[in-house]
Amino acid sequence: MVSLKVLRNYFIISVIVALIGIEVLRLIIGKSNANDSWLLFRDVAPNFFAVFPLNFLFWLVLKENKPQKILLLPVYLTFGLIIYEFIQKVLPFQTFDSRDIFASCISMVICVIVNYVILKLAKDH
């Protein structure tokens, strides 16, 4: 099991990195008009923020504390979100959006970096 101190650090670092990621994502997918970029961000925000809490929850229930599994966890979660996005192509009343996949991938990269930093901090202490 992961210690509470490590989980607390994970949560704090995730919030800070997610806030930075929001601005980076808005700059990348944004348009010239601030309203347009906010609406576009609002469309992809659920996919962007889905990886963080899912990663946190799976890290809580993970029985083995192996660094390889923890570092690959966001990759597996993102893979599941991408599969779900493609499933939406065949479901009625659902919309497929490639920007959702892009937002999930950005979130995955951020989450892997956060996991790496947390594991490094936990190893040093």
Query: What confidence tens digit (pLDDT) does each residue in 46-69 have?
Result: 887 788 778 777 777 766 667 777
Query: What confidence tens digit (pLDDT) does each residue in 10-41 have?
Result: 667 777 776 676 666 666 665 545 566 666 66
pLDDT for 7 equals 66
pLDDT for 36 equals 62
Q: Which helix (H) or strand (E) holds 115?
A: helix 98-124
Report the interhelical angle of 98-124 vs 67-87 (nearest 10°): 170
